[in-house]
Structure 1
Amino acid sequence: MNDNATWMQRDLASLWHPCTQMKDHETLPVTPIRSGKGVWLEDFEGHRYLDAISSWWVNILGHANERINARIKTQLDTLEHVILSGFTHQPVIELSERLGRLAPEGLGHCFYADNGSSAIEVALKMSYHYWHNQGRPEKRRFLTITNGYHGETLGALSVGDVAIFTDTYRSLLLDVIKVPAPDGFGLPRDQWIDQARAAFAHMEAALERHGDELAAVIVEPLIQCAGGMRMYPPEYLTWLREACDRHNVQLIFDEIAVGFGRTGTMFACEQAGVRPDYLCLSKAITGGYLPLSVVMTTDEIYAAFYDDYSTLRAFLHSHSYTGNPLACAAALATLDILEDDDVIATNRDKSARIEQVTAPLREHPHVGDVRQTGMVVAIEMVKDKATLEPYDFRERRGLRVFQHAMSRGAMLRPLGNVIYWMPPYVITPEEIDFLGEVTREGLEVATGR
């Protein structure tokens, strides 16, 4: 009973997988995973796979981390869950205090949800409601940049711009203003800032034109992850903060995928030296163990909802598992490890090794760009290197890379034509070298070169 085929058959008879055309599994096996340790996952037949994408960008400190395990087990014997409306508990208080010390100064209040999309919904509703409470109900629209992704609930989809996720649901979505992203695709890093400056002119013009009706601007700082790991410089965030202040528009940073050290600092916005009005966090917050998200915001915004019950100014948003004690315990253990082991500083050497290993791929005749920010690297395959013409998505060249990598013992899961690494921080130099080999081979398989 413990062979892969049996578990796959039981799976396909009962499950509907996320982000998947289920018909693919007529020919593409589902891989049942029995266990994990460190960067490695193991199936029911003993085959191992290096988790190069941190299991959807969440598992930053490795699978079956003993310190996180211990913290959750201790909490489990004390309190597994309690309603957070009218009640509280030690882990959520301690986590809120810790986050307040770590985040940019002034983000003193934490509002919890249980996944990234829900955090975005909280931030959008909170911003809209803030202006309503301030007597400015006309400030109800949102502004964002193209190619963004913020989740798949309807509000989050509305402020996203990845067509494969949004097009089907277009008639259900909010009317959001979108301007060109500061995307440095195909450019040397020293030219990213010029591209960002040109793109920011569109943002400035939109703020000038629509400021009176805008509640907030929302962006993913530094990396548009699900949009193909497109990257841009921190200066754009600095300009954006100043412009939002000038036009009296709030600013939401979606650091769900890039927070907790992924870009080289605890939070990506630190590299711009700015603070948003709302900071959305999830994914790595629990080290990949349990669902949890949080929106951090300012005393001023908190105060706009603080009034007598009869005024109906309270923020009536809730989730059943808001601030779950087990998830908060996992988050506290994750923060302990990040701080006690100085993980982000240690990552600098690993980032340098990743850069060294992937740099030669720039010379491949069908690689249009190799870009990196912190512990994220993306290699984008193109049909024509000179013009950066993309491959037709229907050719599914990324799938060829995935299949080759699995045969070699690595879980690389490209985004279309973009091969990317977002590995757990516990990856070793030797494992980085192995990923380099597998990626080079996968490129050759996918492009015929």
Structure 2
Amino acid sequence: MKNAELVKRDLAVLWHPCSQMKDHDPELAESLAMIPIKSGAGVWLEDFEGKRYLDAISSWWVNLFGHSHPWINQAIKAQLDRLEHVMLGGLTHESALLLAEKLVEITPPGLDKCFYADNGSAAVEVALKMSFHYWRNSGQSQKTKFITLENSYHGETLGALAVGAVDLYKNTYAPLLMEVITVPGPDCFFRESGESWEAYSLRRFAEMEQVLAQHAESVCAVIIEPLVQCAGSMRMYHPIYLKLLRAACDKYQVHLIADEIAVGFGRTGTLFACEQAAISPDFMCLSKGLTGGYLPLSAVMTSNQIYAAFYDDYQNLSAFLHSHSYTGNALGCRAALATIELFQQQDVLAANRGLAAQMAQATAGFAEHPHIAEVRQTGMIVAIELIQDKAGRVAYPWQQRRGLQVYKYALQHGVLLRPLGNVIYFMPPYVINEEEIALMTEVAWQGIQLAVRD
């Protein structure tokens, strides 16, 4: 099959996510080519005509150990021969149990119960509902609000969208969403010249403290993306903010929800980003890398104290009645177990530190470019922000779609990037090597040169 044939058939029937489908109309002069993928191996994807693309963004941040990893492949195949799926209401199975035990073992202390869902947005919905329901069961039904950070993103179902604050995703659906309290965030892109990440994050916490003091009686939880606001242009901040927030949530009796969906499983340099602040949240949402990028699965980790508030006689109607048909899917759980086993068989985090250093070195010169505002990095995530006027900190108009020009150039030269507006970022699988890092960064550099030349 040829690429063009498959694309034509695709455009006749498929509606793709997070896409303006008119961009892909082949009749338009500026059409954005749809890339049909036939296979994947390691960091590489291959189309139906043999062209390869380096997956520099881990296929929307899910892939940890490369495509078609033999260890994960074999684990799924073995599971398939025993059990593909069974409902988790009133039944259980070995893979769901083993994974829950493993997640309790590896997540921060105090997260002793695991509740499964299907994807990241669903995990956020579970955490929001569970926090609200906990306070209701505890006799504090006045607690109905949530606090979120500006520029945050937590998914696209209605509850998750409500506690996000990226206008691109949220504004259209605002009439459908619950009201939340949005607090200015610790995004270190806006720090003063010479100000450290830590100093800026400390300074910005004062506004969160003020809001908590004012609204704690009516607030269920604060929800936060630890260290990196990924969909919010890969903006980053210092762990001190998390440490202060944990203490404040305890002080004001408000839950802390850590959305580690994108940053968990080694992306930030530690297994979980919360570890860098030595904190345990009340709820931790996990997905994406949980299954190594193979299958949709999410988990919400929480405490025995939260669990106890729902443990009651049936007649009191205190149970948490959230459910998904594919909760605890056996194939997904087995993929997740195999993924965690790779962390435990190899010193993945140490290897990642070496890769992160190579990525830092490869992008070290980018910051001197007159149209690059900043190069920032947290672990295996590097972001390069394009800017029209560096001295005046004036951004390119979003309508110019400068990042899209980088995307197109990179595809032509065998690298898959998907910029967030004018932010080019790298979040590659952990099996990338030094030569591939050099290719990825050189193609991005040339694409940037093209995108900002006029």
TM range (shorter): over 0.9
| SS in structure 2 at match of 1:96 | helix
Following superposition, the deviation at residue 28 of structure 1 comes to 1.3
Which whole-Å CA distance do the structure 1 matches of 2:205 and 2:155 have between them? 24
Tell me the secondary structure at the aligned position of residue 111 of structure 1. Answer: strand
Aligned to 1:134: 138
Distance 1:106 1:24 in 2: 48
Count of residues paired in the alignment: 448
Match of 2:336 among 322, 331, 336: 331
Residue 166 of structure 1: aligned partner: 170
Asked if 1:182 corresponds to 2:186, the answer is yes
Q: Which runs of 4+ in 1 moved over 3 A?
A: 186-190
Aligned match of 2:371: 366
Question: In structure 1, how many angstroms separate the alpha carbons of the residues matched to 2:138 and 2:194?
Answer: 42
Which deviates the most, 188-197 or 403-412? 188-197
Q: In 2, distance between residues paired with 1:254 and 1:370?
A: 24
Which position in structure 2 is the counterpart of 1:274? 279
Query: Residue 298 of structure 2 aligns to which amino acid in structure 1?
Result: S
| Match of residue 103 from structure 1 | 107
Q: Tell me, in whole angstroms, the C-alpha distance in 2 between the residues paired with 1:341 and 1:208.
A: 45
2:345 alignment counterpart: 340
Looking at structure 2, the residues matched to 261 and 36 of structure 1 have their Cα atoms a distance apart, in angstroms, of 22
Normalising to structure 1: TM-score of the pair?
0.99
Q: 2:150 matched to 1:150?
A: no
Secondary structure of the structure 1 residue equivalent to 2:34: coil
Which amino acid counterpart does residue 17 of structure 1 have in structure 2? Answer: H
Percent sequence identity over aligned pairs: 59
1:301-356 per-residue CA deviation (whole Å, 9 max, x = no partner) reads 00000000000000000000000000000000000001111111111000000000
Structure 1: gaps of 5 or more residues: none
Counterpart in 2 of 1:17? 16
Check conservation: 1:32, 1:43, Cα contact below 8 A. Answer: yes
Aligned counterpart in structure 1 of residue 312 of structure 2, from 303, 307, 324: 307
CA distance in 1, matches of 2:190, 2:354: 25
Offset at residue 186 of structure 1 (A):
5.7
- DSSP 3-state at the match of 1:185: helix
8 Å contact from structure 1 (residues 127, 250) kept in 2? yes
Residue 289 of structure 1 is matched in structure 2 by 294
State the distance in 2 between where 1:14 and 1:142 align.
39
- The question of 1:225 aligning with 2:230 is answered yes
> How far apart are the structure 2 equivalents of 1:285 and 1:387?
41
2: distance between equivalents of 1:290 and 1:40?
19
Distance 2:150 2:247 in 1: 20
- Structure 2 residue aligned with 1:353: 358
* Alignment partners' CA distance in 2, 1:31 and 1:436: 21
- AA aligned to 1:417 is N
Distance 1:190 1:259 in 2: 28
What residue number does 1:401 align with? 406
Q: Partner of 1:85 in structure 2?
A: 89
Among residues 189, 207, 213, which one is paired with 1:208 in the alignment?
A: 213
Give distance in 2, aligned partners of 1:388 and 1:408. Answer: 30
CA distance in 1, matches of 2:392, 2:235: 18
Are 1:123 and 2:127 matched, yes or no? yes
Residue 28 of structure 2 is matched in structure 1 by none
AA at the equivalent of 1:207:
L
> 1:351-407: CA deviations, max 9, x gaps?
000000111000111000100000000000001111221111100001000000001
What residue in structure 2 maps to residue 7 of structure 1? 6
* 2:248 is aligned with 1:249: no
Which residue, out of 64, 70, 75, partners 2:74? 70
Alpha-carbon separation, structure 2, partners of 1:344 and 1:360: 26
Opposite residue 411 of structure 2, the aligned amino acid is: M
1:192 Cα deviation after fit: 1.1
RMSD after superposition = 0.9
Q: Tell me how far apart the structure 2 counterparts of residues 190 and 358 of structure 1 sit (CA, whole Å).
A: 22
Contact 1:110 1:294 in 2 (8 A): yes
Unaligned runs of 5+ in 2: 26-30
